[in-house]
Amino acid sequence: MVRGRISRLSVRDVRFPTSLGGHGADAMVSADAMVSADAMVSADAMVSADAMVSADAMVSADAMVSADAMVSADAMHTDPDYSAAYVVIETDAEDGIKGCGITFTLGKGTEVVVCAVNALAHHVLNKDLKDIVGDFRGFYRQLTSDGQLRWIGPEKGVVHLATAAVLNAVWDLWAKQEGKPVWKLLVDMDPRMLVSCIDFRYITDVLTEEDALEILQKGQIGKKEREKQMLAQGYPAYTTSCAWLGYSDDTLKQLCAQALKDGWTSQRSQFPRARLFLFHLSALLSLQATSFPHCSSALLPSDSRLCR
pLDDT of residue 110: 94
| 3 state DSSP class of 108 | coil
Evaluate whether 267 touches 285 at the Cβ level (below 8 Å): yes
Q: How many H-runs (helices) and E-runs (strands) does the chain carry? A: 10, 5
Evaluate whether 85 touches 114 at the Cβ level (below 8 Å): yes
DSSP string, 244-258: -TT--HHHHHHHHHH
pLDDT of residue 16: 75
Distance between CA atoms of residues 127 and 110, nearest Å: 26
pLDDT of residue 133: 97
pTM of the predicted model, to two decimals?
0.74
pLDDT of residue 257: 85
pLDDT of residue 128: 97
- pLDDT (tens, 9 = 90+) of the chain, 308 residues, equals 899 999 999 999 998 754 334 433 323 333 333 333 333 333 333 333 333 333 333 333 333 334 344 566 666 777 778 899 999 999 999 999 999 999 999 888 999 999 999 999 999 999 999 999 999 999 999 999 888 998 887 777 899 999 999 999 999 999 999 999 999 999 999 999 999 999 999 899 999 999 999 999 999 999 999 999 999 988 888 887 777 767 777 887 888 888 888 888 777 766 555 555 554 555 565 555 555 455 444 444 444 444 44
Distance between CA atoms of residues 240 and 243, nearest Å: 7
Alpha helices (runs of H) in the chain, residue ranges in sequence order: 110-120, 129-134, 136-144, 157-178, 182-188, 191-196, 209-219, 223-233, 249-261, 273-281
pLDDT of residue 142: 93
pLDDT of residue 307: 41
